[in-house]
Chain A
Amino acid sequence: QVQLQESGPGLVKPSGTLSLTCTVSGGSVSSDNWWTWVRQPPGKGLEWIGEIHHGGSTNYSPSLKSRVTISVDKSKNQFSLNLNSVTAADTAVYYCAPSGMDFWGQGTLVTVSS
């Protein structure tokens, strides 16, 4: 059974870069699948951030495209999210999931604050 686990700093300073990693266990990031990042600000709805294929192709939300990079590391069976120039509006629980979103990681809260 494939499981996902998000990891990374829980606190990021304004104007800094948010960096998270999603580790895939019980399966391979190189399976024929796309891998997705989704976020949810406290008390608000879900927002699709972007996705990556193990071959490296990516798709990003137009509203975040200028600040987002998603990458994959097959050797570590991980995929990662980088979001730069963060503000308080980027404070959210960040989830990773396969593109079909049929299962999700537990999510990790990232707070943007000085």
Chain B
Amino acid sequence: HSALTQPASVSGSPGQSITISCTGTSSDVGRYNYVSWFQQHPGKVPKLLIYDVTNRPSGVSNRFSGSKSGNTASLTISGLQAEDEADYYCSSYTSISTRVFGGGTKLTVL
């Protein structure tokens, strides 16, 4: 299972919405509803934003939402804020009972 494919970078202005894609295969993203999204600020520990494609842990802003279509999962951030500037990673369960991460996406808030 190769790493999931994410865009290297995305950007947006405060208040806008952005979407980060995460493309896998029919053996991971496409097969299971076990996609998670993480936010990581520089020098910090990753933080879980979304699990099981669409669910937000307690305490995570409802500006973050997840979805999936076929082999591609997506993270949407609405009402972009300066504090959202960070790296974002997706992860999926796989058909060989492992997990795989995406390469990461750097979000710049203009």
Q: How large is the interface on B (under 10, 10 to 19, 20 to 34, 35 or more residues)?
A: 20 to 34
State whether B38 touches A62 (Cβ < 8 A): no
- Give the contacts of A58-104 with B (CB-CB under 8 A): 59-62, 95, 99-104
User: Given contacts A95-B45, A100-B51, A101-B46, is CB(A48)–CB(B91) below 8 Å?
Assistant: yes
State whether A45 touches B45 (Cβ < 8 A): no
Task: Give the shortest distance, in Å, between B99 (CB) and chain A (any CB).
Answer: 5
Stretch at the interface among B14-22, B62-70, B72-80, B101-109: B101-109
State whether B1 touches A62 (Cβ < 8 A): yes
User: Given contacts A101-B46, A102-B51, A102-B57, is CB(A45)–CB(B98) below 8 Å?
Assistant: no
Cα A51 to Cα B87 with chains together (Å): 24
State whether A45 touches B104 (Cβ < 8 A): yes
Task: For A106, give its contact among B3, B45, B99, B101 (CB under 8 Å).
Answer: B45
Chain A residues with a Cβ under 8 A of chain B: 36, 38, 45-48, 50-51, 59-62, 95, 99-107
Chain B residues with a Cβ under 8 A of chain A: 1, 3, 36, 38, 40, 45-46, 48, 51, 57, 87, 89, 91, 96-104
A-side interface mostly: loop
Point out which of A62, A95, A99 has the most chain B C-beta atoms below 10 A from its C-beta.
Answer: A62
State whether A46 touches B51 (Cβ < 8 A): no
| 8 further interface pairs, Cβ-Cβ under 8 Å (given A59-B98, A104-B45) | A46-B38, A46-B91, A47-B101, A48-B101, A62-B98, A102-B48, A103-B48, A105-B45
